[in-house]
Amino acid sequence: MSRELPDELAALLAAGGEADDVLRAVVATLAEAPGLSWAGIAFLERGRLVLGPEAGEPDDANRTCVPISYGGEPVGELRVDGDADGALLEEVAALVAPYVLIGWDTGGESWEP
């Protein structure tokens, strides 16, 4: 997994768009990264992680999961299969957090990404 990946994802996120489109592009970009075979994002819904957008070929035996938080609250989980750098994935999780929040149950409270 390349150290340049966060810059590529940052550019993708800076372009903005609908949260679903952005998250699909993020997992597709991750799944195409050297050393990775699959990527997915799970949303925290009613206390359970529910898989949302995903791309690539899964390899459950070689999966790395990183929590995604927004405002200090858990909202989801970034999952990748392959040779993943945990610190780098934490950066990616922070970049996608505002988009993942949209899939999170806010309990009726308003929020601003």
Task: pLDDT tens for the chain, 113 residues: list them.
Answer: 666 677 788 888 888 888 889 999 999 999 999 999 999 999 998 889 999 999 999 999 999 999 999 999 999 999 999 999 888 899 999 999 999 976 444 444 544 54
Look at residue 56 and tell me if it is in a domain.
yes
pTM: 0.85
Residue 112: inside a domain: no
| Any domain includes 81 | yes
Q: How many domains does the chain have?
A: 1
For 73, phi and psi rounded to 5 degrees?
Answer: -110, 140
pLDDT at 3: 66
DSSP SS3 for 24: helix
Q: Which domain holds residue 28?
A: 5-101
Strand blocks (E) in the chain: 36-45, 48-56, 63-70, 73-82
In a domain? residue 109:
no
Structure tokens at 35: 């050393």
Distance, in Å, from the CA atom of 85 to the CA atom of 70, rounded to the nearest integer, reads: 21
Residue 80's CATH number:
3.30.450.40
Three-class SS state of 80? strand
pLDDT of residue 2: 60
CA 46, distance to chain mean position in Å, is: 19
- Residue 68, in any domain of the structure: yes
